[in-house]
A and B are shown apart, each in its own frame.
Chain A
Amino acid sequence: GAVVSQHPSWVICKSGTSVKIECRSLDFQATTMFWYRQFPKQSLMLMATSNEGSKATYEQGVEKDKFLINHASLTLSTLTVTSAHPEDSSFYICSASLIRDSPLHFGNGTRLTVT
């Protein structure tokens, strides 16, 4: 069964609006979760590492003010795409691992379309 749950699975929004994506670890506590983005026919690109109780660490080139990450509990991380634009349309996936260096378990992803 799924160990990481992501919601919503897909969302269509108008340009300028904000979209929140939730990622929950099921049956385990995840002090660290990861947010990825995947454009069509491209590889997954790590956007940021979400740390419970502290600020997220962002990869180079990812705007922290545009992609707000909150990891307020050991089982929930949220990614908010603020003032979304069509170029933000992508497949966003969260992940978590039970212990460091172990394989990642992925959420089912969120397909965001900004019109």
Chain B
Amino acid sequence: RKEVEQDPGPFNVPEGATVAFNCTYSNSASQSFFWYRQDCRKEPKLLMSVYSSGNEDGRFTAQLNRASQYISLLIRDSKLSDSATYLCVVNARWSSGGSNYKLTFGKGTLLTVNP
């Protein structure tokens, strides 16, 4: 099982649609979880952190299920500007390469919102 696995995509949706991204992680010791968005040829930008109780920020809702090691991101009323690659990111404490902890990125899911 890959460390962080996301829907392969790409997703093409019309404006106003609701779209959901799924992500699973393999390390049960993972501590914190994030969704980033990355525009083409740009650096990733934090979209939102993900908490066990679930959290919402405007049109975006993130959910975490620790028992299933599953994270989701829901985008409602999608806009053209939401077109980007969405990265699921997991922070785990382990000693790979000598680091005490590290962030592991999923491959990302490309979303294109069409007019």
For the complex, is A63 an interface residue (Cβ under 8 Å from B)?
no
Q: How many residues of A contact B (CB 8 A)?
A: 24
A-side contacts of B106, CB under 8 Å? 43
B96 near A59 (CB under 8 angstroms)?
yes
Looking at the assembled complex, report how far the CB atom of B5 sits from the nearest CB atom of chain A, in whole angstroms: 11
A-side contacts of B107, CB under 8 Å? 42-43
Per-residue 0/1 for B5-49: is the Cβ within 8 Å of any A Cβ (1 yes, 0 no)? Answer: 000000000000000000000000001101000000111111001
B42 near A108 (CB under 8 angstroms)?
yes
For the complex, is B80 an interface residue (Cβ under 8 Å from A)?
no
Given contacts A43-B107, A43-B108, A101-B31, contact A106 B44 (CB under 8 A): yes
For the complex, is B55 an interface residue (Cβ under 8 Å from A)?
no
With a 10 A CB-CB cut-off, give which of A45, A60, A101 has the most chain B CB atoms. Answer: A101
Checking B31, B32, B103, B108 against A46 with a beta-carbon cut-off of 8 angstroms, the contacting residue is B103
Checking A58, A60, A100 against B101 with a beta-carbon cut-off of 8 angstroms, the contacting residue is A100
Q: Which of A60-115 contact B (CB under 8 A)?
A: 60, 91, 93, 100-101, 103-109, 111
Looking at the assembled complex, report how far the CB atom of B112 sits from the nearest CB atom of chain A, in whole angstroms: 15
For the complex, is B70 an interface residue (Cβ under 8 Å from A)?
no
- Cα separation A58 to B98 with both chains bound (whole Å): 8
- Cα separation A57 to B98 with both chains bound (whole Å): 6
A-side contacts of B105, CB under 8 Å? 43-45
Binding site for B on A (CB under 8 A): 34, 42-46, 48-49, 57-60, 91, 93, 100-101, 103-109, 111
- Provide 11 A-B residue pairs closer than 8 Å at the C-beta atoms, listed in order of the A residue: A44-B105, A46-B97, A46-B102, A46-B103, A46-B104, A48-B97, A59-B97, A60-B96, A100-B101, A106-B45, A107-B43
